[in-house]
Amino acid sequence: MKPVIFGLSGPVLTSDERAFFAAVEPAGYILFKRNIVDRAQLRALTDALRDLAGRDDLAILIDQEGGRVARMQPPEWPGFPAGPAFDALYEIAPMSAIQAMRANGEALGLMLAEVGITVDCAPLLDVAQPDTTEAIACRAYGREPLRVAALGRAMLEGLAAAGIVGVVKHMPGHGRALVDSHHLLPTVTASDAELEVDLAPFRTLAGAPMGMTGHIVFEAWDAERPATLSPTIITDIIRGRIGFDGLLMTDDIDMKALSGTAGQKAAGAIAAGCDLVLDCWARMDEMVEIAGLLDEIAPASRERLDRAMASVRPGTGDMAALIAKRDALLALV
């Protein structure tokens, strides 16, 4: 097994993809809008991936946060609100906001489980600042670490109740980034003491099964390398001060915050201490390069992957009732 999660080019596996994935055996796959038509097609695709891997516990990921980050969309599936809706409710009724988020996470998870998806890249634990890039601000759970952690925990619990593994992101915190790491490399100049605010939600939820790095330079910790490529940040901050021992994957290795070829970036991330590389765009030449430069998955990383996927249990909730409960609570604002 190679320590990489690959994207797919379309709504069905191509013959080239099928042959390549069978030979390489990636740790998992991630789905995007280009891979999704309707329920029947999506379930057939995830079943095909499981059959190819020969594993019922295959990690099949999606970015389905709610709001603008939603790969499965209406009218085929219901829309889900983004983080700020729960932040606003928390302002007047914290317990109601937590209940709403838990119901939201469970409903969202049931929607994913129905089509064979097993991992959701949520919750977002980045603590927003007044000048946070809009790419994060429109998704964040708030500006207070306690609030972000409480809502993040509720999301993780809701997803787990539906049989879905959650991924806390973007370690060690994307809230101070002033630019979008999809396009530029953010540099954070805050002091070590100031960054305690950013670490707090991740430390509170350090027992999460999976986490994702951010492509951000933190001058206080490593002025030369972004977190994804920094052994110092991964070992001393994420594994050390946060205390995270779950599966650590990169954010999309193709994002413009990182430089170098796809294979160079992937190899650098694994060398820095990430367990898995996330490569989203299904470009065959890049996937071949990545697979050629990565060794087999490390035993510790495989154990973390297996542990995370073992937490998946079938959910039994009623999606419509959960959405109704969430909406009734959000209507309090």
Q: Which residues are catalytic?
A: 182, 251
> What's the rounded Cα separation, in Å, for the pair 286 and 179?
26
> What's the rounded Cα separation, in Å, for the pair 62 and 119?
7
Residues 6+ apart with CB under 8 A from 15: none
Residues counted in the chain: 333
DSSP string, 133-145: -HHHHTT---S-H
> What's the rounded Cα separation, in Å, for the pair 256 and 280?
13
Going by C-alpha positions, the residue among 207, 279, 218, 271 that lies closest to residue 245 is 207
Return the SS3 of 302: helix
Radius of gyration over every alpha carbon of the chain, rounded to an integer in angstroms: 19
Question: How do strand 69-70 and strand 64-66 relate by DSSP bridges?
Answer: antiparallel
Question: Left (φ > 0), alpha (ψ -120 to 50) or beta: where does 25 sit?
Answer: left
> What's the rounded Cα separation, in Å, for the pair 269 and 152?
26
Going by C-alpha positions, the residue among 235, 256, 92, 248 that lies closest to residue 183 is 256
